[in-house]
Amino acid sequence: MRNENSQIIVDINCDDDEPFEPERLISLAKSVCNRYSVNAANISIAIVDDNAIAKINEDFLNHQGATDVISFDLTGDYGVKEFEIVINSQQAERQALERGHSTQAEIALYLTHGLLHNLGFDDQDEKQAKKMHETEDMILKEEGFGIVYAGKHRTE
């Protein structure tokens, strides 16, 4: 359900010189939240490189190495959702090149994936992962990015 009166604030910080369209990411973040009836949210998006996300991955999740996206739900008790999404631009660039779509579309996938995790989706088992990834592609297609995930894990 979309609510045009929502109060969703999106802040993007980018350590990389890689060009992307922040307006499209802001619109996407708001759309995902509205779709799941989140009417008040503060969303911080950091677009970083391999080294920065590897450090965050180790410091906060005790995992080694770089990853594509890390999301944090920092929501307190006062009703406004507080989400932090950290996106790896170098991983997005590599994967986009390998899979034949734009870096912007790959970054949009990572943003959508992180937000869906914060909204209760999980991908810990095959059934949950399938539902989550189908939802990602539905959203990305509707938002004009095309089907991004399905093309990357197809088996023939």
Query: Is residue 2 situated within a structural domain?
Result: no
Based on the structure, what is the number of domains in the chain? 1
Each residue's pLDDT tens digit, 84-136: 999 999 999 999 999 899 999 999 999 999 999 999 999 989 999 999 999 99
Beta carbons of 149 and 110 less than 8 angstroms apart: no
Sign of CA dihedral 152, 20, 43, 14: positive
Give the residue-averaged pLDDT of 14-40. Answer: 89
The amino acid sitting at 86 is V
Please tell me which residue, 149 or 96, carries the higher pLDDT value: 96
pTM for this prediction: 0.90
First vs last C-alpha separation in the chain: 36
CATH code of the domain containing 75: 3.40.390.30
The pLDDT of residue 77: 84
Query: Is residue 1 situated within a structural domain?
Result: no
Query: Is residue 110 situated within a structural domain?
Result: yes
Query: Is residue 124 situated within a structural domain?
Result: yes
* Domain assignment of residue 59, given as a range: 7-152
Query: Is residue 15 situated within a structural domain?
Result: yes
Bridge partners of 13, per DSSP, are 46
Beta carbons of 83 and 72 less than 8 angstroms apart: yes
Return the minimum-mean-pLDDT range out of 15-19, 128-132, 141-145, 150-154: 150-154
The pLDDT of residue 112: 98
The pLDDT of residue 105: 96
Least Cα distance to 88 among 104, 110, 121, 73 occurs for 110
